[in-house]
Amino acid sequence: MTTIPLFHVLILSSLLFAIGFVGVVARKNTLFILMSLEIMLNAVGVAFIGAGSVWQQADGQVMFILILTLAAAEVAVGLALLIRMQKKYHSLDIDLLNQMKG
């Protein structure tokens, strides 16, 4: 039924990944950085599902579930840290966290 080439799925995946990358590097607000990270993770999931569909194995979806778990834990901890940062610096500018310099 479907004749979508794997190539197109991977293009979609890499496009979303690149957009997420731009967001991570270019935005100053830590919250936006976290959101962009979610986009990147999602893009990876797309690639996995596509591959699983090509080879007709459920492994792709299993991998996606694990990525999901990872994203959930990461968001939880990330938001908690963000809350602390807000309390201390009263701002979410990531350039304030620059004490680990050489």
Partner 1 sequence: MIVLLASLPFYPLVSFLVLIAFGKRLSWRLAATVSVSSMALTVLVSAILLFELSTSQNQVLSVNLWHWFDLSNQMGTGAVNVSFYLDGLSAVMISVVSGVGFLIHLFAAIYMKDDANFSRFMAYMNLFIVAMLILVLADNLVLLYLGWEGVGLCSFLLIGFWYQEKSNVLAARKAFIVTRIGDTSMAIGLLLIFNTFGEFNIAAVTTLAQQADIVTDPNSGSSAEQSNNIYWIALLLLGGAVGKSAQLPLQTWLPDAMAGPTPVSALIHAATMVTAGVYLIARMHGIFLLAPEVMNYVAWLGALTLLLAGVAALAQTDIKRVLAYSTMSQIGYMMLALGAGAWSAGVFHLMTHAFFKALLFLTAGAVIYALHHQQNLFKMGGLLKQLPFETSLFVVGLICLMALPGTSGFFSKEAIIAQLWSSNTAGPMLWWCAIIGALLTSIYSCRLFFLAFLGTARCSEKPQAEKSILLRSALIILALLSLFGGLIPLDLTLVFSAAIQTPLVQLIEPTWLHSVAIITPFIGILFSWFYFKNYRRSPLKVTEHNIEASEGKFVLFCRQGLGFDAFYNMLLVKPYQWLAQVNKRDVFDQIIMLNVWYVGLWHDSLILVQNGSLRWYLAAFGLAIILLLGVSFL
Partner 2 sequence: MLANLTSIDSLFYLAGLVAVIASLKVVTGHNTVHALLYLVVSLLAVAVCFYLMGAPFAAGLEVIVYAGAILVLFVFAVLMFGLGKDETTNAPKHTGLANMLGAMLLAFALLVEIIVIINNADMQQNLQATVISSKTVGIMLYGPYLLAVEIASFLLLSGLLASYHYAKPDVTGGPL
Q: Is residue 24 at the binding interface for partner 1, with CB under 8 A as the rule?
A: yes
Largest CA distance in the chain: 58
Smallest distance from partner 1 to CB 97, Å: 6
The closest of 93, 9, 22 to 51, measured between CA atoms, is: 9
Q: What are the backbone angles phi and psi of residue 47, rounded to the nearest 5°?
A: -60, -40
- 44 makes contact, choosing from partner 1, partner 2, none, with CB < 5 to 8 Å by partner type, with none
The tokens describing 1, both together, are 């039924």
- 49 makes contact, choosing from partner 1, partner 2, none, with CB < 5 to 8 Å by partner type, with partner 2
Among positions 69-98, residues that touch partner 1 (CB under 8 A) are: 94-95, 97-98
Q: What are the backbone angles phi and psi of residue 93, rounded to the nearest 5°?
A: -70, 125
The contact set with partner 1 (CB under 8 A) reads 21, 24-26, 28, 94-95, 97-102
